[in-house]
């Protein structure tokens, strides 16, 4: 089971927390709602990664992120899809790549 520390204080962060709790594969070990709490939250939860809810102002946490040695996953909810950026390379299955390419709009 992977352990994540959720960074954010919004409805989107709450939704992510609930979604991950229901997955059975990911444990949310804490929620950090302020930049000055990040180091203590990491120490207390021993997460494998940070999951940043997109409503968080990235500039507020920039210095704390630079000191963090964990992978950082930034999830943003825009329109009707979830966009994920990571600070480290992650493996993707070939079928995911093919599906992403297949979802591109047709050029005229």
Predicted confidence at residue 72, as pLDDT, reads 80
Tell me the two tokens of residue 3. Answer: 């352990």
Backbone angles phi, psi at 26, to 5 degrees: -130, 135
Structural contact between residues 35 and 64, judged by C-beta atoms closer than 8 angstroms: yes
**pLDDT of amino acid 105:** 59
Name the pTM for this structure.
0.71
Query: What is residue 28's predicted lDDT score, i.e. its pLDDT?
Result: 92
Task: State the pLDDT at residue 34.
Answer: 86
pLDDT at residue 2, as a whole number: 83
For the chain, residues with pLDDT lower than 70 are 55-66, 77-108
Q: What residues pair up with 81 in beta bridges, in sequence order? A: 78
| pLDDT given at position 31 | 95
- DSSP letter at 103 equals T
From CA 15, how far away is CA 40, in angstroms rounded?
23
């Amino acid at each position: 089971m992977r352990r994540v520390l959720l960074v954010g204080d919004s409805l989107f962060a709450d939704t992510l927390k609930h979604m991950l709790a229901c997955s059975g594969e990911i444990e949310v070990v804490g929620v950090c709602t302020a930049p000055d709490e990040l180091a203590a939250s990491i120490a207390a939860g021993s997460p494998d990664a940070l999951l940043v809810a997109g409503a968080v102002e990235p500039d507020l946490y920039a210095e704390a992120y630079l000191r963090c040695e964990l992978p950082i996953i930034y999830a943003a909810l825009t329109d009707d899809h979830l966009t994920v950026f990571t600070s480290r390379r992650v493996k993707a299955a070939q079928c995911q790549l093919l599906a992403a390419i297949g979802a591109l709009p047709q050029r005229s």
